Amino acid sequence: MDGKVAVITGGASGIGEGTVRRFVEEGARVVISDLHEGRGHALAEELGSSSATFVKTDVSSEEDVKNAVHAAVQRFGRLDTLFNNAGFGGVGGPIDETDMDGYDRTMDVLLKAPIMGMKHAAPIMKQQRSGSIVSTASVAGIRTTAGPHVYSAAKAAVIHLTKSVAVELAAWNIRVNCVCPGAITTRIFAQGLELTDSQADQTLKTLPLVFQNSQPLKMAGMPEDIANGVLWLSSDAARFITGHALVIDGGITLHQGGLIGAQQPAAAPADPDAARQAFLQVLGVTPE
């Protein structure tokens, strides 16, 4: 990746942060695109101004997405990789209780944002006649019981969007792929649980113990596992790969167990607070 330039959304934490760090290690210059100014600025400062810059971005805003993409050209002179990664668990619950405002917000972040990222990266990459676009999908877009209904539908759409856009942009030597993470140790599992920062940090310590028994490979998935896949898809080593959904899941799609955070069968606790408390107990989160 030496000399290449990337925009990574959701780049201040989790999979995004892990990918920012791997890209910089491999010689890339990165625009860290995220809503969280404190973490984003701190990461950019740590990595150095010659390697990284932070742009505050709400990926549900087209103007913000456009600004983040164009910041790469303005700051570093080109754009070689766009990693559409920002996301969250989104609206949950049984289908007959789906909150439609929550649905709109979920789809804005998980599907509209990657579309807008592709929209604004494509003209730059077409002019260069080269580029790589990678988006974060999920195993929830491939199988059931791996995420909430709307989240899963959005991730399935990202996978098909990847294939569709890959066909269009191939004429300009622009490759379009996505990654499908399994159970990865990030803060996304703490979202929606109304946790304090210290409790959220606590989940990052306990999640690996939970996840190491969630798939055939008895180890916890970490952000760097996804970062390595994104790095490969973005590099010249993957020059003949496009329209591909790279599953990085420790084999979790190979068996029938459900995932934490998934839409559970009707036998699951009907009381949302009881379900939340049970989840926190599994994570070992102590009250504050």
Amino acid symbol at 123: P
Instruction: Please compute, for residue 4, the number of CA atoms within 13 A of its CA located in the half-sphere on the CB side.
Output: 23
Q: Say if residues 178 and 133 touch (Cβ distance below 8 Å).
A: no
Q: Is 158 left (phi over 0), alpha (psi -120 to 50) or beta?
A: alpha
Residue with tokens 């607070």: 273
Mention every residue, 6+ apart, whose C-beta is less than 8 A from residue 103: 91, 150
Measured N-to-C along each axis, helices 14-25 and 223-234 cross at an angle, to the nearest 10 degrees, of 50
- What tokens appear for 120 in the block? 């604004």
Q: Say if residues 163 and 60 touch (Cβ distance below 8 Å).
A: no
For residues 76-87, one letter each, b for 16 or more C-beta atoms within 10 angstroms of the residue's C-beta and e for the rest, the string is bebbbbbbbbbb
Q: Say if residues 184 and 249 touch (Cβ distance below 8 Å).
A: no
Listed residue (3, 58, 4, 15) closest to 33, CA to CA = 58
d(CA 56, CA 245): 28
Spacing of C-alpha 257 from chain mean position: 22
- What tokens appear for 55 in the block? 């742009």
Catalytic site positions:
151
